[in-house]
Amino acid sequence: QVQLVESGGGVVQPGRSLRLSCAASGFTFSSYDMHWVRQAPGKGLEWVAVISYDRGKKYYADSVKGRFTISRDNSKNTLYLQMNSLRAEDTAVYYCAKEGDVSGWYYFDSWGQGTLVTVSS
Amino acid sequence: EIVLTQSPGTLSLSPGERATLSCRASQIVSSSYLAWYQQRPGQAPRLLIYGASSRATGIPDRFSGSGSGTDFTLTISRLEPEDFAVYYCQQYGSSLWTFGQGTKVEIK
């Protein structure tokens, strides 16, 4: 079955950087677009970024554009999120999510358990 | 950017009752691009419905989705104890994905 396992979260000071990873298994990772979605404490879901299966396309939410970079290594079945210039409002649980099997319908059919990023001095 | 507004914010119902959750979009959304998720406390979201009305694998048939254009609905025909959770709608448009703010279904 599909398994997505995030890692790399922790406490970081404002202005510093952090890199999240998401190890994927149970499906052909190189065939699917992958996303990061975050959830601030007690708040709703916010889409962060997407990378196409072949790394050819990357899109970002306005709130992170220019500060965050999504990438992937298909040989390692791993998704990454490089987060620079972190702000207090970036504090959230970060989920990686796999796009659904129906191509071009743009939904998330599998989610990891999330990794908590806390930005605080 | 398309904004999704969910109502009500909280729905207080008893087990066995019917739940009707609304998701309204600020612009027309293709039905193919509308999904619903359930999130229980401390857990990751779980896909319920995609393409506005297609149930995801393993989702009980008491969950159904409907709607088109700017108005979409998630219906839970008879609430089971495990259905008390937060529900989110989500849409795609112009290389952006957005979620509604969520509806909490709580035990009355």
Higher local confidence (pLDDT), A54 or B6: B6
What does R_g of chain B's alpha carbons equal in angstroms? 13
Residue B46 forms contact with A (CB below 8 Å): yes
- By Cβ distance, the residue of A46, A50, A102 closest to B99 is A46
Give B14 to chain A, closest Cα distance, Å: 24
Task: Give the phi and the psi of residue B58 in degrees, each rounded to 5.
Answer: 85, 0
pLDDT at B80: 97
- By Cβ distance, the residue of B43, B97, B99 closest to A44 is B99
Most B CBs within 10 A among A99, A105, A111, hence the mutation to make, goes to: A105
- By Cβ distance, the residue of A45, A104, A106 closest to B45 is A45
pLDDT at A104: 80
Most A CBs within 10 A among B2, B74, B90, B97, hence the mutation to make, goes to: B97
- d(C-alpha B17, C-alpha B61), whole Å: 15
**What pLDDT digit, counting tens, does each position of B60-78 carry?**
999 999 999 999 999 999 9
Cβ burial, residue A83 (10 Å; 0-12/13-18/19+): buried
- Those residues with Cβ within 8 angstroms of residue A62's Cβ, 6 or more apart along the chain or in another chain: none
pLDDT at B94: 86
Residue B100 forms contact with A (CB below 8 Å): yes
**What pLDDT digit, counting tens, does each position of B28-47 carry?**
999 889 999 999 999 999 99
pLDDT at B86 over 90: yes
pLDDT at B1 over 90: no
B97:A106 CB<8 A? yes
Residue B30 forms contact with A (CB below 8 Å): no
The pLDDT tens digits along chain A (121 residues) read 999 999 999 999 999 999 999 999 999 999 999 999 999 999 999 999 999 999 889 999 999 999 999 999 999 999 999 999 999 999 999 999 999 988 888 999 999 999 999 999 9
Residue B13 forms contact with A (CB below 8 Å): no
Q: Which of B49, B67, B68 is closest to A108 using CA atoms? A: B49
**What pLDDT digit, counting tens, does each position of A21-34 carry?**
999 999 999 999 99
Question: Which residues sit opposite B23 in a β-bridge?
Answer: B6, B72
> pLDDT averaged over chain B?
96
